[in-house]
Amino acid sequence: MTLPLSKYVWFDKKYVLTEKAKVPITTHAIHYGTSIFEGIRAYWNGKNLHVFRLDEHVKRFRRSGQYYNISLNYSDKIISDAVIGICKKNNIKKSCYIRPFYFIGDYGINLHVTEKAPTHVAIFTFPFGDLFNKNGITAGVVSWRKFSDMSTPTQAKMGGNYLNSIIATQEAKRNGFDEAILLDHNGNVSEAPGENIFIVRDGQLLTPSLTSSALEGITRDAIIKIAKDLDIDFIERDISRSELIISDEIFLTGTAAEITPIISMDSKKIGNGKPGSITKKMMQEYSDIVMNKNDDYAQWLTSVY
């Protein structure tokens, strides 16, 4: 997929033309996946561009590297200002996706990564709409398992970690599904390749706990907070594979996916085959929040202009 990248990227504290932002083939991250990234959404509501939960994204951005002793050599404020700045520099006035990432540069083939390894930071952005069909998608459980903390930190958004997501997605697509669902090492539901998962049973909203190797998603956290504010009965617990197909509703959450209904799981219709009432409520609440139509969550938005 070719991205309609903005004219400028932010690269080590400078605004650089996209075609000029290059790295050598000896870059460590190319060989070993030693890169850390975030996905951030900004929403244009006709009056201003608002970045969703910027502070939380920047904090996780730094924390992901700490698992591997990879240094983010700029303050949180510099990174936050850079996210805002790249939108301004490109005069973005439509909803967009923002990708900050940092990576180990020219470090040879040395596997002994320390805080002193050279790192670089880049941020780019591009217009972005729906990742999935908001009327609902199909999903299927794949044979590949989500990796666990027994092998590598599950809460680090590392480039190398997403090879697990890639191979799961490939299997799901071969099986004719829009998206994959991965089980954890115990055989319980973990998450999708790039999204957290929620199910609804008898009016109760459920999601796997973080012990399932699920990422502590920022959109996931938002949905949990919204559910509690709406007095929706919510619980985190183990979810078995068999529970998926008897769920009343299923939806995915993520920065790119936002709130995406699953209307068919393992080729079995979920509910009536349409987004359910709680799913639709969450979709509407989320849309109102990111479009700055709900003052109760205004603190989640950072204005660009």
Distance, CA of 234 to CA of 228 (rounded, Å):
7
Asked if the 8-127 domain carries CATH number 3.30.470.10, the reply is yes
Mean predicted confidence (pLDDT) in 40-63: 98
CA distances from 303 to 1, 40, 45, 251, 299 (A): 29, 14, 11, 29, 10
Residue 1's pLDDT band, with cuts at 50, 70 and 90, is: low
Mean predicted confidence (pLDDT) in 101-118: 96
Residue 170's pLDDT band, with cuts at 50, 70 and 90, is: very high
Mean predicted confidence (pLDDT) in 149-157: 96
Mean of all residue pLDDT scores within the chain: 97
Contact between 72 and 107 under an 8 Å Cβ cutoff? The reply is no
Per-residue pLDDT tens over the stretch 125-137: 999 999 999 999 9
> pLDDT above 90 covers what percent of the chain?
98
* Domain extents in the chain: 8-127, 137-290
Nearest to 37 by CA among 53, 58, 21: 58
8-127 and 137-290, same CATH topology? no
Contact between 265 and 208 under an 8 Å Cβ cutoff? The reply is no
b/e string for 197-211 if b means 16 or more Cβ within 10 A?
A: bbbbeeeebbbbebb
Residue 106 has pLDDT above 90, yes or no: yes
pLDDT at 4: 83
Distance, CA of 158 to CA of 115 (rounded, Å):
16
Q: Three-state SS string across 90-103, please?
A: CCCCCCEEEEEEEE
Distance, CA of 122 to CA of 21 (rounded, Å):
9
Distance, CA of 80 to CA of 144 (rounded, Å):
36
Per-residue pLDDT tens over the stretch 209-243: 999 999 999 999 999 999 999 999 999 999 999 99
Q: Which residues contact 48 (CB under 8 A, 6 or more apart)?
A: 292, 303, 304, 305
Residue 3's pLDDT band, with cuts at 50, 70 and 90, is: confident
This prediction has a pTM of: 0.96
User: Which class in CATH covers the domain with range 137-290?
Assistant: alpha beta
Residue 108's pLDDT band, with cuts at 50, 70 and 90, is: very high
CA distances from 281 to 211, 226, 275, 289 (A): 27, 10, 10, 12
Is 157 an active-site residue?
yes
Contact between 3 and 265 under an 8 Å Cβ cutoff? The reply is no
Distance, CA of 249 to CA of 235 (rounded, Å):
15
Contact between 21 and 268 under an 8 Å Cβ cutoff? The reply is no
Distance, CA of 124 to CA of 177 (rounded, Å):
30
Which of the following is catalytic: 157, 228, 268, 269? Answer: 157
- Residue 268 tokens read as 């079995």
- Sign of the four-CA dihedral 283, 254, 15, 302: positive
